[in-house]
Amino acid sequence: MADPIVVGVDPLANGDIAAVARGGAAVELSTAARMAIRAARTQVDKLASADSPTYGVSTGFGALATRHIPADRRTELQHALIRSHAAGAGEPVEREVVRAQMLLRLRTMSSGRTGVRESCADTLAGMLNAGITPVVAEYGSLGCSGDLAPLSAVALAMTGEGEVHDANGALVPAADALRAAGIEPLLLSEKEGLALINGTDGMLGMLLLALDDLRELLDLVDLTAAMSVEALLATDRVFAAELQQLRPHPGQVIAAERMRKFLVDSPIVASHRGPDCNRVQDAYSLRCAPQVHGAARDTVAHAASVATIELESIIDNPVVLDDGRVESNGNFHGAPLGYVLDFLAIPVADVASMAERRTDRMLDTARSQGLPPFLAADAGVDSGYMIAHYTQAAVVAELKRLAVPASTDSIPTSAMQEDHVSMGWAAARKLRKAVDGLSTVLAIELLTAARALDLRAPLKPAPATGAAVAALRAQVGGPGPDRHLAPEIAAARALIRDGALRASYTLS
């Protein structure tokens, strides 16, 4: 078993999120975190017993913040808040998303800025370690004040209400899952309801997971593009380092270098390199691949810088300051995350669009440099990859629609108290769908380019691209009569998503 992720007063690392959300790693609170939690709670207890009202401690919430709540009704107030705010609808979101937002909320509580009791943090940590995943519905968050409905679903489960998936994935009542794990349902005290739900944790969790996926996919699109360059007898001269340095965007330089390395020692490329080669001006989908892939890489880098700042941030309202004051604020607004979540959907769509153009070129006898129609074994009887390309084109069309921003679509709520919202959760949900679509697009380019390379025999591809073809061939047969293609697309997708394709090759 891996060591548990220690959650303390300092920010979590990017890799910690994936380890817990996807890898199922356990968590534990640091000693410093426990001390910080206790110190902040002391301040909240003082304010709770004071005569003057404090927002979130002894008042109502949102548009009802001016109403003072007597002490004997504050536990009722906190539970009413969670029950009313757990108002999501639609299909459950993915387990990894829920676990990510649980971990990020735990980290905020561990900072000593929220005023919760130690037992509150221990309950959340215990659920993570027991593999208890509350059912969080897809719709309900406007990204301001944070991810209220999604986080309320988690908080509700902490109190023993609602439904969860247990460690085996079974849907069970939260009370039963807590009992089986030996976790006492939480009885909320002053401030704890707000502290559990006033955060950007869902948005941030989905951003971090998408960044992990996109780094992998942008590495693999360099591979599939290089395979297509070989398959279409295109030139590699445009990827030369001296040409890239004339426009040294960091991502472009990296993408071009990777494509050069994929094509090192390629007999196919060597076969048409020399003074007699007339392939000087290849189509943009080949010649400009580093420029597009590189711009996508630079967009990922920008989004990662925003995510890093958010990981270092403490998002709650109100928040406990060092001098003991509990102050209201607007740090829960999701605009910084919403913007980059929307931004990332644009290069996802564009990278996919370029891959689709390369795929189409390999299937068209007018542009494929001698390949058979649709790479079919017996064109006319067989259709080859004709309809696989249709599928790819349909996904690309969807990705273009998903690139339309959500963050410009604010809609006022809460009796105009929340009169401008971020829609960051919606931006994150569509980005997840877009990333999944890009995997399908690259799987179909991989299948097409690999078959085209096989059809170039006896010429062989480069060692790196050849290794990728071999990895695919271990799962999917080579050229031949038509066969059921859907399972082969799924197999290629699996190679991409589980890391097996990336592990198949070595770049010098």
Digit-coded pLDDT (tens) for 311-346: 999 999 889 998 888 888 999 999 999 999 999 999
Q: Is the pLDDT of residue 220 over 80?
A: yes
Q: DSSP letter string over 350-390?
A: HHHHHHHHHHHHHH-TTTSSSPPGGG-SSBTTB-TTHHHHH
* 439-467 pLDDT per residue, tens: 999 999 999 999 999 999 999 999 999 99
Domain ranges, ordered by start, for the chain? 5-199, 206-318+329-503
Question: Rounded to an integer, what distance in angstroms lies between the CA atom of residue 195 and that of residue 199?
Answer: 8
Q: Are 5 and 106 a contacting pair, CB within 8 Å?
A: no
CATH architecture label of 5-199: Orthogonal Bundle (1.10)
Is residue 55 among the annotated active site residues? Answer: yes
**Band of pLDDT at residue 112, cut at 50, 70 and 90:** very high
**Band of pLDDT at residue 46, cut at 50, 70 and 90:** confident
Active-site residue among 55, 339, 385, 505? 55
**Band of pLDDT at residue 59, cut at 50, 70 and 90:** confident
pLDDT at 64: 65
Between 340-344, 420-424, 428-432, the lowest mean confidence (pLDDT) is in 420-424
CATH architecture label of 206-318+329-503: Up-down Bundle (1.20)
The pLDDT of 485-507, averaged and rounded, is: 97
Average pLDDT value for the chain: 94
Between 141-155, 222-236, 290-304, 365-379, the lowest mean confidence (pLDDT) is in 141-155
pLDDT at 428: 98
* 130-164 pLDDT per residue, tens: 999 999 999 999 988 789 999 999 999 999 999 99
Q: Is the pLDDT of residue 15 over 80?
A: yes
b (16+ CB within 10 A) / e for 104-116:
bbbbbbbbbbbbb
b (16+ CB within 10 A) / e for 24-43:
bbbbebeeebbebbeebbeb
**Band of pLDDT at residue 170, cut at 50, 70 and 90:** very high
Tell me, yes or no, if the two domains 5-199 and 206-318+329-503 fold the same way.
no
The pLDDT of 420-441, averaged and rounded, is: 96
pLDDT at 436: 98
